[in-house]
Amino acid sequence: MPLPQIAIGIVLFVFALYLILKVMKNVLLVIVAIVVLFMSYTFLYGSSPEVCTLPVIGTIINPICTFSSNPSGVIVAVKDIFYNTEVIATSRDSQNNLLVVSSNTGKFDLSGFHILVDGNEVGIKNNIPAVLKSGQTYVFSTNFSGSCTNVTIKTNQTESKPHSC
């Protein structure tokens, strides 16, 4: 009785092997076509092409080109995933002091908050938490009552992008 099952298994294996070989042939043909394209470009223009500037291939591998040309960008991008704070809004309280709404958009906790208004540190009036957990939002009440153009929050781990007042 197991003979028909073995025969069906062999037929399925051969069919799967046939499909794999067809796919591998197509992949190999594409690789050969790309090599021929690069060689013809080199013969015509006298230099090898800049891969990132090619119309089709360049758009596909653009993230790799960007990261390889600027390695510090990789570090900043990874750091921003783990440690990031954003100024959501600014407002004024009843005494015309600046209120800054901030959120921890990173994955890890933030601590050591400082508010910078136009690049100068201002005092924080309310009791700030020692640690702002990931996803939490907090309203900082400052003792700044003048006019301003941008606000930045600086922590021990990161600094937010400037937000207009």
What pTM was estimated for this model as a whole?
0.56
- What integer pLDDT is reported at residue 73 of this predicted model? 61
Are 88 and 151 within 8 A, CB to CB? no
Question: What does pLDDT average to in each consecutive run of 10 residues of the chain (165 residues)?
Answer: 82 94 93 84 74 68 61 67 90 92 91 92 89 92 91 91 88
- What integer pLDDT is reported at residue 45 of this predicted model? 76
Q: Which of 41, 39, 20 is nearest to 31 (CA)?
A: 39
Q: How do the domains of the chain map onto residue ranges?
A: 2-69, 81-164
Q: What is the CATH T-level fold of the domain 81-164, as seen in this structure?
A: Immunoglobulin-like (2.60.40)
- What integer pLDDT is reported at residue 4 of this predicted model? 83
Nearest-angstrom CA–CA distance, 31 and 36: 9
Q: Give the model confidence (pLDDT) of 47-92 as tens digits.
A: 776 767 766 666 666 666 665 555 566 666 677 788 889 999 999 9
- What integer pLDDT is reported at residue 43 of this predicted model? 78
